Amino acid sequence: MSDTASTRATRNTPDHRPLVGAPELLPSLAPLLTEWVPRQRWFAGKGRLLTGFTLLSATELLPCTDPGAPGLLLLLVRAQQSAPPSRTPVGGDCYQLLLGVHPALSPQLAPAVIGRPGGGPLHGRTVYDALLDNRLCALLLERLRVPGRLGALRFCREPDADIPSGLPGRPIAVEQSNSSIVYGDSFILKVFRRIEPGVNPDLELPRALADAKCARVPAPAAWYEAAAAGEGGEATTLGVLQPFLAGSADGWQLALNALAVRADFTGSARALGHATAEVHTALAQTLPTTELRRPQLEVIAAQMHERLDATARAVPVLQPYRARLRTAFDALAATGHDGRSWAAQRIHGDLHLGQTLRSADEGRWSLIDFEGEPARPLAERRRPQPAVRDVAAMLRSFDYAARSGPAGGDPWALEWARRTRDAFCRGYAEAGGLDPRSVPELMRAYETDKAVYEVLYEARHRPDWLSVPMAAIRRLAAGDEPAVGAEGPGPARAAGSDDGRG
Ligand SMILES: Nc1ncnc2c1ncn2[C@@H]1O[C@H](COP(=O)(O)OP(=O)(O)O)[C@@H](O)[C@H]1O
Ligand SMILES: [Mg+2]
């Protein structure tokens, strides 16, 4: 970033007439955005017509009023879409858009172009995806280095965080459910795309873990948020900057590599079990916990039944297994009727191999991406839950790995999955986690619920992968093998997680 840009960003001259509030701003951008937004990987409303946007807020991170100079605009918008599914908040999903504005964009940035508004305050200038422009990425980092307010936004920084200035930023190659920028191999900024009012668990949980001195999760160094609309409301997290674990490899790729050369993965899985238990222990120590008794267990089982019924309606191949699968949820509810209770706490919520990183030097595992399952409402994701739900999800991920790629489904790979699952559970229990093998009712219910979720996801997005969760469905419906250590037939990363969303 040039000095000029940085100076302009922090200046608020009397002649600076902000775009914010200009009534023509959104109408002039809407035709471009209704074309561009649905093509983005992070757009959650695929398959439904996008008819327009409502503007929630507009902030100039770099003034956009000078027609001869580059600008950077942050918009929070609500998408207007046809036939919203039940999970969509009334009025549609909200998104964060970071738009560059330039009078004469360099040809290298051609792939970033969104379009040229035909009117309004940005008339004739090029509007483009700001996160593909190194200069604007650098400006965003500069903003995060200096805490303070800007319009509706607030930039925050941990007092002891050492964030050097001038680190070059580049978007990560794999676009997932959000957009991430890596700064000089030292930091990674995750820009949340679909936003909901309130603190994002991907800030809340890593901060709590940092306070608890749990080093398994990169500690947030800075973040930015939109102020609450009314008094007493919670700010909305928009982005989090955390240390980049350079040279680490993600667990999904490591597992596939091991499978490709028929290598054992039990040592890694056991160590990952340790890491997961450490994170769960620290979360239980620092954030609210609760005890799930009969009424709560009945509600959880009823929700699982509902998801199963809805999925069986949408994916008829599930129908023949429905009655048998229901027994898993009934068994969970029955534990409450028997007077048993289960501890609940904050959990990862979307744990799978793609959310783990292993360092190259010491082989030390870290967990990332604490947002939870992106399709579930924020309030639900922030609720305490049994920690074994994360364990069940990770076991499903080992199954997915064993059923994908060239070795997919071969008996050796299935045995690999069985041993790997066992090793993970062993490691989890050794490091102080509740032994998953001692809670078969919980494990079976959560594994079944996850497999049902995967069936719906694969049927909708990747029909070629449907055989993977269906193999688990057959095993779980048979119910003649314990959930842990049992093996069932299928390929992929976690379905419907950010890795799997298509
Ligand atoms: N702290 C980090 N160090 C190194 N790589 C990271 C880090 N955080 C995320 N990544 C990489 O970025 C990818 C996306 O990050 P993630 O937080 O999972 O975002 P999303 O919600 O889009 O899935 C990860 O799969 C991982 O490869
Ligand atoms: Mg992720």
- pLDDT one-digit tens code per residue, 133-175: 999 999 999 999 999 999 999 999 999 999 999 999 999 977 5
Nearest CA, atom 1, ligand 1: 244
Condensed to tens digits (0 to 9), the pLDDT of residues 292-321 reads: 999 999 999 999 999 999 999 999 999 999
From the CA of 369, how far away is ligand 1's center (Å)? Answer: 7
Is residue 375 a contact partner of residue 450, using CB atoms and an 8 Å limit?
no
Q: What pLDDT is attached to residue 408?
A: 78
Nearest ligand (C-alpha, residue 369): 1
Q: What pLDDT is attached to residue 461?
A: 86
From the CA of 500, how far away is ligand 2's center (Å)? Answer: 9
Mutational pocket test of ligand 1: of 41, 170, 176, the residue with most ligand atoms within 8 Å of the beta carbon: 176
Mutational pocket test of ligand 1: of 181, 188, 351, 373, the residue with most ligand atoms within 8 Å of the beta carbon: 188
From the CA of 368, how far away is ligand 1's center (Å)? Answer: 7
Nearest ligand (C-alpha, residue 220): 1
Is residue 24 a contact partner of residue 57, using CB atoms and an 8 Å limit?
no
Nearest ligand (C-alpha, residue 194): 1
Give the position, in ligand 1's atom list, of the atom nearest the Cα of 242: 1
Rounded Cα gap, residues 198 and 200, in angstroms = 6
Q: Please indicate whether residue 176, judged by its CB atom, sits closer than 6 Å to ligand 1.
A: yes
Condensed to tens digits (0 to 9), the pLDDT of residues 205-259 reads: 999 999 999 999 999 999 999 998 777 788 999 999 999 999 999 999 999 999 9
Condensed to tens digits (0 to 9), the pLDDT of residues 359-404 reads: 998 899 999 999 998 888 899 999 999 999 999 999 999 999 999 8
Q: What pLDDT is attached to residue 8?
A: 42
Mutational pocket test of ligand 1: of 174, 186, 191, 357, the residue with most ligand atoms within 8 Å of the beta carbon: 357
> Any idea what DSSP says for residue 197?
S
Give the position, in ligand 1's atom list, of the atom nearest the Cα of 497: 23
Average confidence (pLDDT) over 259-279: 97
Q: What pLDDT is attached to residue 405?
A: 66
Give the position, in ligand 1's atom list, of the atom nearest the Cα of 369: 17
Cα–Cα separations (whole angstroms), residue 92 to 81, 87, 121, 198, 450: 6, 10, 26, 17, 26
Q: Please indicate whether residue 250, judged by its CB atom, sits closer than 6 Å to ligand 1.
A: yes
Assigned token pair, 186: 């030292």
Is residue 168 a contact partner of residue 184, using CB atoms and an 8 Å limit?
yes
Comparison of pLDDT for 435 and 14, the residue scoring more:
435
Q: What pLDDT is attached to residue 6?
A: 41
Assigned token pair, 153: 């936004």
From the CA of 193, how far away is ligand 1's center (Å)? Answer: 14
Nearest CA, atom 7, ligand 1: 244
From the CA of 177, how far away is ligand 2's center (Å)? Answer: 7
Nearest by Cα to 466 from 501, 502, 431, 495: 495
Q: What pLDDT is attached to residue 283?
A: 98
Phi-psi region of 198 (alpha: psi -120 to 50; beta: other; left: phi over 0): left
Give the position, in ligand 1's atom list, of the atom nearest the Cα of 42: 22
Q: Is the dihedral of CA 483, 487, 490, 495 positive or negative?
A: positive
From the CA of 174, how far away is ligand 1's center (Å)? Answer: 9
From the CA of 366, how far away is ligand 2's center (Å)? Answer: 13
Rounded Cα gap, residues 145 and 147, in angstroms = 6
Q: Please indicate whether residue 178, judged by its CB atom, sits closer than 6 Å to ligand 1.
A: yes
Q: What pLDDT is attached to residue 10?
A: 40
Q: What angle do CA 220, 225, 228 make, to 5 degrees?
A: 135
Q: Please indicate whether residue 388, judged by its CB atom, sits closer than 6 Å to ligand 1.
A: no
Q: Please indicate whether residue 244, judged by its CB atom, sits closer than 6 Å to ligand 1.
A: yes
Q: What is the average pLDDT value for the chain, to the nearest integer?
A: 89
Q: Which residues surround ligand 2, an ion (CB under 5 A)?
A: 369, 498
Given a cut of 70, whether residue 491 has pLDDT beyond it is no
Condensed to tens digits (0 to 9), the pLDDT of residues 417-437 reads: 999 999 999 999 999 999 999
Long-range contacts for 413-417 (Cβ within 8 Å, ≥24 apart)?
A: 413/259, 414/487, 414/488, 414/489, 415/487, 416/258, 416/259, 416/262, 416/264, 416/265, 417/487
Condensed to tens digits (0 to 9), the pLDDT of residues 49-103 reads: 899 999 999 999 999 988 889 999 999 999 998 765 555 555 689 999 999 999 9
